[in-house]
Homo-oligomer: A and B are copies of this chain.
Amino acid sequence: MPIIVTAETRLVVQGITGREGSFHASRNRDYGTAVVAGVTPGKGGQDVDGVPVYDTVAGAVAEQDANTAMVFVPPRFAADAIYEAVDAGCGTIICITEGIPAHDMLRIYNYIRPRGVTMLGPNCPGALSPGIANVGIIPAQVFAAGRVGLVSRSGTLTYQIGKELADLGLGNSTIVGIGGDPIVGSSFIDILERFEADPGTDLIVMVGEIGGDEEEKAGAYIDEHVSKPVVAYIAGFQAPAGKTMGHAGAIISGSSGTAAGKQQALQARGIPVGDSPTAAARLAAERLA
């Protein structure tokens, strides 16, 4: 059974007439996702590859029962797009856009959180439930269906681990990219909670990186609340302090946020941490053997 993107997902793509928006909307639909609408203000009434385009998300929700929004608009307009999706009643927002100002997300997070809206990203690759639905930019061909839940702050690193798992004969229930920004809509804990509750998931692979303390918090949470085996990988042992490593959230500040610190925190909770994607996949395979 999948989480976040499921057979019930009815997707509206915000920014569908853009280059990336149209490409991935079509790709997601071809995978089997119910891509029911797109939104580009001023282009309502057109269609992109057969997907009807609306001027507003409210229109897409009213006429196509969209319940999930994928945001592909440029960073300056992304906060507005997210608010529009929330206001129109979309319960799940998946924001691919990278480069959204941190204060915009600060407000959005505090706005949506008490309202029970689920959000992935910004700056995330989306979520893929193999064989069921794909929302975002994850290359589905890499992943097989199976019983490993995969949650990650990083996109391509997730693909790497997915491939390593597949090479070992393991598939995924859902692959969730939570995003690489300082504030993202869902934390590791949010996703761990869902995988724990998901009868289709037997083991969870958590892919972290430097910056923040979400991995440490996740470790404590796993210790208390997760009964399923969890295996981790952390990227960024070579990262110097004070430099942003690509992701706005991947920065070591003072002594906090280092890969070594995260690795120790997880291992102290009994969570095995692989020292390469390959090693992490092997640890997962051992746990499931």
Residue of B nearest to A114 (CB): B114
- List residues of chain B with CB within 8 A of the CB of A114: 114-115
Q: Count copies of this chain in the complex.
A: 2
Q: Which residue of B lies closest to A115 (CB)?
A: B114
Instruction: Give A115 to B114 CA distance when docked, in angstroms.
Output: 6
Residue of B at shortest CB range from A116? B114
> Which chain B residues border A115 with CB–CB below 8 Å?
114
Size of interface on A: residues with Cβ below 8 Å to B? 2
What is the chain B residue whose CB lies nearest that of A112?
A: B114
Interchain CA distance A263-B114 in the complex, whole Å: 37
Residue of B nearest to A113 (CB): B114
Contact with B along A131-166 (1 / 0, CB 8 A): 000000000000000000000000000000000000
Q: Closest B-chain residue to A111, C-beta based?
A: B114
For the complex formed, measure the closest distance between the CB of A117 and the CB atoms of chain B, giving whole angstroms: 10
Closest CB-CB distance, A91 to chain B, in whole Å?
A: 14
Expressed in whole angstroms, the minimum distance between the Cβ of A85 and any Cβ of chain B is 17
Q: For the complex, give the distance between the alpha carbons of A114 and B116 in Å.
A: 9
Rounded to whole angstroms, the CA-CA distance of A115 and B110 in the bound complex is 11
Q: Taking the nearest CB of chain B, how far is it from the CB of A108, in angstroms?
A: 14
- Bound-state CA distance A227–B21 (Å) is 52
In the complex, A115 Cα to B115 Cα: how many Å?
8
Give chain B nearest CB distance to A169 CB in angstroms: 45
Q: What's the Cα separation between A104 and B115 when bound, in Å?
A: 21
Q: Which residues 26-49 of A sit at the B interface, judged by CB distance below 8 A?
A: none
CB distance from A89 to the nearest CB of B (A): 15
A189 → B minimal CB distance (Å): 20
Q: Give the complex CA separation of A12 and B114 in angstroms.
A: 26
Contact with B along A4-15 (1 / 0, CB 8 A): 000000000000
Could you mark each residue 112-124 of chain A with 1 if its beta carbon is under 8 Å from any beta carbon of chain B, else 0? Answer: 0011000000000
Measured in the bound complex, the distance between the Cα atoms of B111 and A115 in whole Å is 11
Min CB distance, A111 to chain B, in Å?
9
Q: List 2 A-B contacts (CB under 8 A).
A: A114-B114, A114-B115
The 2 A-B residue pairs whose C-beta atoms are closest, nearest first, are: A114-B114, A114-B115
